[in-house]
Amino acid sequence: MVANRVREWRVRQGLSQSALADMVGVSRQTIWAIEAGDYNPTVRLALSLADSLRASIGELFWLTAREDDSQCGQRGS
């Protein structure tokens, strides 16, 4: 799973979802879905978000362990 801090960085910059969406060329609903963790952006969009929010990709997005990842290789045991 991918977690993010887009909302935190957007608020820190004083931007609304609509303003950030306009900056990166997507809809406000897309920004909402990214912030909610319901949509993982493309690499291009993630780079654009990082640039617009003056952050690194790593500051905005990171991988989290999924519950079923810990059971990989244990099925059928």
Asked whether the beta carbons of 49 and 21 are under 8 A apart, the reply is: no
Mean pLDDT of 32-44: 97
Tally of CA atoms within 13 A in the half-sphere of 63 that contains its CB: 4
Better-predicted residue by pLDDT, 40 or 77: 40
Quote the pLDDT of residue 76.
47
Q: Which tokens belong to 63? A: 């991988």
Asked whether the beta carbons of 51 and 62 are under 8 A apart, the reply is: no
CATH number of 2-65: 1.10.260.40
Residue 75 above 50 pLDDT? no
Kindly report whether the global pTM for this prediction surpasses the value 0.85: no
Domain ranges of the chain: 2-65
Collapsing DSSP to helix, strand or coil, 12 comes out as helix
